[in-house]
Chains A and B, each alone.
Chain A
Amino acid sequence: MLAVAEKVQMLHDEPTMKRASGPTSDVDRLSALPDGLLHTIMSFLPARQNVQTSLLSRRWRRLWRSAPRIEIDERDFGISVSTSSSTLEERWPRFENFATNMLLFHDNTSSLGEFRLRCRLHNWCHVDRWIRRGIEYCPSVLQIQILNYGLGVKLPPLVGSSSHHLKRLCLWNLIFDGRFADFLCSSCPFLEDMDLQSCDFCGIRPQGIISPMLNKLEMSHCSNKTGYPLVIMAPRLTNLCLTYGCYLAGISLCKMDSLVKAEIYIDENKTLSQKTQRELLGSLLNVTSLKLDGFEADAMMNENPDEFPTFSNMQTLDLSNCFLNEYELDYKLEALRSFIENAPCLEKLILQYCMFMSFSDSEWEIERKSMTLHPEDRYIYRCQNLKLIEVIYDHDHDHQLIELVWSLGISLPDASIKLNKIERWV
């Protein structure tokens, strides 16, 4: 009998039967700890070991099932970026079995603290189920990271009632349709922190991120594939980070009254059109600290004094990889001036690898031997509070750095300029 044979085998494997309790000095301290502490310990262990704790002793038998955190990660099963497809075929079924069964037997159905899923889209059917199951758990922290390098999976419809606990949402590589916007708007009243990476907003309706309590928003490499501008309306947003992506259909920030810190990284051709860039800058009124990467002179040039609003709170402006196109240095500085004159409180300006490319296009370009600088042409910027300008560069090509520093020095006589050479690609 198969079963009997196995039973016998098990007995052989475990030579000691029920173990007598040891000497009195060996007291079991671990099990005396309250459930909460044991759950905290288990939260440091990978999901597989969590389940395996059920074999330790009676106390631990059902403990994993009420743990406040579910974390399913394909890396626990040896599946990583570099796994070959044959190894994947071997390992994926085990991972799949584990994940499915774990979700089946986990008890904490109504108030899970965290649900984290990280896997690739090897079998859509199952992954989709796990996502749905995770959402049903009403966690406070929901993190779904699909690693499919190019393909996204459509986010399953998020039924409204289950998300009142949601405070932190982290989604990678998912495709949103119009329902996501509705969901955020109406069903996540307490959402504070959102992190989207490589997500796509698709569909024929205009979409947006409208969230009453959102505090921190990070969007990285997302794209807006609807024909309409993506609307972000988050009156409590203090921290915004927009990194690359594609918003050629537009993106507009509304009601950013609480915004304290904003970081925007763009790639001029792909991310935002120039018009959008200007609009975006215009909507960042209240920021205290602004970091821009990839902007060009045309976007920042403020010819008409009323075009840009006043950045009344801005104290730090950090520009990296800006003003790198072919225009004259004078024009670029003019654009910079026109921008920072709108920030009367500006105290610190940082220019990282700006104004000039640090390598030359052609090998035989001859460096200038002399340079003529005209002090009388210089216009003094009206920035009373600007005390520190930090210029970070890695290579001074054709003495452009000298020209830059000189121009800045003349235009902003009250500010001290700090030069820092930091290699970018070591």
Chain B
Amino acid sequence: MSESELAVIKPEALKTYIWLQCFDGSIQQVEEEVALFCPWIYREIMKNGTGSSKNHAIVLPERVNPASLSLILDYCRFHQVTGRSNKERKSFDEKFVRIDTEKLCKLASAALGLQLRPLVDLTCGALARIIGGKTPDEVRDIFHLPDDLTEEEKLEPLKNINDDPTIRLLNRLYAKKRKELQERQKLKDVQTEKEQKDERSLDELLCFINGDGGSRGGKAAKNKKKNKRRKDQAKNPAKANAEPANKEGAACVVQCKADNGNISRLPHQSPDLQDDIEYPFDEADLDDGLDPAMREEIDREVADFEMKLNLVWGERMLLEQEQRVESHVNKAKVQLTGAAAPDALAYEFFSCVQLREKGLIYAVFSRGTKGEIYTVAISC
């Protein structure tokens, strides 16, 4: 019979079949319309003309194993029929992904290989539903993930803290002064704008970081203990902080708007505080990154932070920090543009001080291209 005659009759027995070969060599045949439902197979047929016979089977990508292939073909067989309602399709899909996780992963991978996007989304959604709402231990159990984040790694940030004498001193100091500041805060609440409590304590904190690194130049007059080494910084932070807080449009670090208001306040109220603040830094090493020596480009490892994960995953998470040590890069360059800053300013984070308190607040000191020193705080 000629082809045209065949086409006209086309009984069940003469349906066109496509031959597919998996990477392991097994060949199977499948109805044409089912196979064409997969974009990848469709393209192969159109481009190379293969698949029409056993000898010229289409070789499927490696990630498609025979088990997944048969599942995919079942999926295609169902969905390529046009008359089905959305409800039917949905219920088929739901049943379809009720397989064990291992098969599900393989299926997702195979679907990706054949570029069958709806099936990729379906399988990934199912995997997400399995992962969702579980603790990391549970997820590791289900998927047999290696628990290869060592305790040391997880505790690394804490180690760094312990090693730095400055920070230890600061910790103690902060713990001591925190109460005092909070009490003072209650008095100030009426006058100041409404800000969240978190930020408020942050400001206080910033304040004495700045206070040591550069207390307001003008206000320093009160403090007899003011060292010469702090004079250069004294004026800069004052100006520097004023500007970015107001002008920065697209800052990628958080700056509290209330910075300025609070920073200038504190020295007035607490000359004692200032004495105390400066005290540790008088004794501290020069490589704490806060003194003018930083201008000589002290190489300090910049740690990245991961934010504090919330209480959902247990108490451990509350305290857990991960600080990534950028060993290959000592300074992270960040490009900032913003509406009020038409020229891009490059900031170099060249040191950071991590302070320990329940809220785990980090202060990062950075220097702009013009040499101004900014203090930026991130609270976790």
B306 touches A104 (CB 8 A): no
Q: How far is the CB of A128 from chain B (nearest CB, A)?
A: 9
A75 at the interface (CB under 8 A from B): no
Query: Is A18's CB under 8 angstroms from B131's CB?
Result: no
B293 at the A/B interface (Cβ < 8 Å)?
no
Q: Smallest CB–CB gap between A187 and chain B, Å? A: 14
- With A19-B146, A33-B108, A54-B322 known as contacts, the answer to whether A10 contacts B136 (CB < 8 A) is no
Given A14-B316, A19-B146, A97-B198, answer yes or no on A30-B158 (Cβ-Cβ < 8 Å). Answer: no
Q: State the CA gap A44–B120 with chains docked (Å).
A: 12
Contact B249 A55, beta carbon cutoff 8 Å: no
Q: List B136-160 residues whose CB lies under 8 Å from chain A.
A: 136, 139-140, 143-151, 154-155, 158
Q: Once the chains bind, are A132 and B250 in contact (CB under 8 Å)?
A: yes
Asked if B109 and A13 sit within 8 Å, CB to CB, the answer is no
Decide if A1 is an interface residue (CB 8 Å cutoff): yes
Measured between alpha carbons, how far is A19 from B145 in the docked complex, in Å? 10
| Distance, CA A94 to CA B150, complexed state (A) | 28
Residues of A within 8 A of B101 (CB): 29-30
- Interface 1/0s, chain A 260-286, versus B by CB < 8 A? 000000000000000000000000000
Contacts of A81 in B (CB 8 A): none
Binds B, one of A34-42, A145-153, A198-206, A211-219: A34-42
For chain A, the count of residues having a C-beta within 8 Å of the partner chain is 71
CA distance A3 to B316 in the complex (A): 13
In angstroms, Cα B275 to Cα A364, docked, is 87
Q: Which residues of B contact A58 (CB under 8 A)?
A: 146, 148-149
Which single member of A4, A29, A46, A100 contacts B105 (CB below 8 Å)? A29
Do residues B338 and A105 form an inter-chain contact, with CB atoms below 8 A? no
Contact of A10 among B132, B155, B171, B380 (CB under 8 A): B155
- The A-B contact count (CB < 8 A) is 183
| B120 engages A97 (CB within 8 Å) | no
With a CB–CB cut-off of 8 A, which chain A residues contact B132?
A: 44-46, 49
One of A20-28, A188-196, A343-351 contacting the partner: A20-28
A105 B124 Cβ-Cβ under 8 A:
no
A residues within 8 A CB of B317? 52, 55
Return B132 CB to nearest CB of chain A, in Å.
Answer: 6
In the complex, which of the residues A27, A29, A54, A93 has the most CB atoms of chain B within 10 Å of its own CB atom? A29
Q: How far is the CB of A65 from chain B (nearest CB, A)?
A: 9
Tell me the nearest residue of chain B to A54, going by C-beta.
B306
A51 on interface, CB distance cutoff 8 Å: yes
- Asked if A18 and B155 sit within 8 Å, CB to CB, the answer is no
A186 to B: closest C-beta gap in Å = 16
Contacts of B242 in A (CB 8 A): none
State whether A52 and B136 are in contact (beta carbons under 8 Å apart), knowing that A37-B120, A94-B310, A97-B380 are contacts in the complex. yes
Tell me if B257 is interfacial: C-beta within 8 Å of chain A: yes
Whether, in the assembled complex, A101 has its beta carbon less than 8 Å from a beta carbon of chain B, the answer is yes
Residues of B within 8 A of A2 (CB): 171, 175, 356
Closest B residue to A101 by beta carbon equals B307
A93, B196: Cα distance in complex, Å: 7
Q: Is A11 in the interface zone, CB < 8 Å from B?
A: yes
Min CB distance B274 to A, Å, is 24
B294 interfacial by beta-carbon distance below 8 Å:
no
Render A112-140 as a binary contact track against B, CB cut-off 8 A, 1 for contact. Answer: 00000000000101100100110010000
Q: Is the CB of A156 within 8 A of B339?
A: yes
Q: Which residue of B lies closest to A126 (CB)?
A: B254
A17 to B132, CA, bound (A): 25
If A18-B147, A32-B105, A132-B249 touch, does A45 touch B307 (CB 8 Å cutoff)? no
Contact between chains at B144 and A56 (CB < 8 Å): no
* Contact status of A36 and B112, CB under 8 A, knowing A7-B158, A10-B316, A14-B316: yes
Per the bound structure, the CA–CA distance linking A38 and B357 in Å amounts to 35
Chain B stretch 305-339: residues in CB contact (< 8 A) with chain A: 305-310, 312-317, 319-320, 322, 337-339
Chain B residues closer than 8 Å to A33, beta-carbon distance? 105, 108-109
By the criterion CB–CB under 8 Å, are B144 and A27 in contact?
Answer: yes
Which 7 A-B pairs rank lowest in CB-CB distance, beginning with the nearest?
Answer: A44-B128, A101-B307, A29-B105, A26-B144, A19-B147, A40-B124, A30-B143
A-B contact pairs, 5 of them (CB 8 A): A3-B356, A7-B155, A27-B102, A37-B124, A97-B308
